[in-house]
Amino acid sequence: MQPVSEVSGTAYPWGAKNVDTDVIIPAHWLKTIKRSGLGRGAFETVRAQPGNIFDDPAYAGAPILIAGDNFGCGSSREHAAWALADMGIRAVIAPSFSDIFSGNAFKNGIVPVVLPQEAVDRLLEVARDQPVTVDLETMTVTTPFQDRFAFELDPFRRRCLMEGLDEVGLTLAKDTVISKFEERLDHERPWIKGESGYAGVAVEGTGRT
């Protein structure tokens, strides 16, 4: 997972509410276990409409999506986060998110930013022709017009995002501790590895080992 401390640039000023994961990535795209290529199917039903925002050249490659309340509701498919990441989105700003989607976004290096509706409305206005910046160092969303909106993020998730640590990375970070534990375990309980020559321990009163 790539570290992310700041996401800055054009933002899709969408604002749609109650966007479920089937809208983000339709079910017929779920046959793959690959994360790449899903961006082509992202918001497929929306893109079928003439003049949709996702095919507007003015927002091509935007790293930020500004959405409405309850973004990512519906099924728990992680493909939704994969699809957003594959189309280049690194942060989503909304008044609220589905808990499962928020977790999936975090695990895939996407920053879920929760702001009040008033702040989101202002960002939707600004993003029509100006960039937006999400800063994890200062925990703020800013615009060229000196707008400054503070947001909160779980400290553990913030650290993982900024250091690029997914579940594999977190495990590897404990490599030394895990190795020492395994060495001690091999010494104290050699039977676990089934080492040859182990005679066993007699069980008192049974004559068995």
- Co-location of 92 and 137 in the same domain: yes
The mean per-residue pLDDT over the stretch 177-204 comes to 66
Count of domains for the chain: 2
- Categorise residue 146: left if φ over 0, alpha if ψ from -120 to 50, beta otherwise: left
- Co-location of 54 and 92 in the same domain: yes
**Is residue 171 very low, low, confident or very high in pLDDT (cuts 50, 70, 90)?**
low
Per residue in 17-43, pLDDT (tens digit) is 999 999 999 999 998 888 899 999 999
Q: Which of 69, 74, 95 is nearest to 21 (CA)?
A: 74
C-alpha 77/C-alpha 33 separation (Å) is 11
In which domain, by residue range, is 179 found? Answer: 164-194
Mean pLDDT of the chain: 89
- pLDDT on residue 125: 98
- Co-location of 102 and 154 in the same domain: yes
- Co-location of 82 and 177 in the same domain: no
- pLDDT on residue 35: 84
- Co-location of 131 and 181 in the same domain: no
**Is residue 203 very low, low, confident or very high in pLDDT (cuts 50, 70, 90)?**
very low
- Co-location of 107 and 173 in the same domain: no
- Co-location of 123 and 157 in the same domain: yes
- Co-location of 168 and 129 in the same domain: no
Question: pTM here?
Answer: 0.81
Please say if the pLDDT value at position 118 is more than 50: yes
Percent of residues, the chain, with pLDDT higher than 70? 88
**Is residue 43 included in any domain, yes or no?**
yes
- pLDDT on residue 169: 57
**Is residue 32 included in any domain, yes or no?**
yes
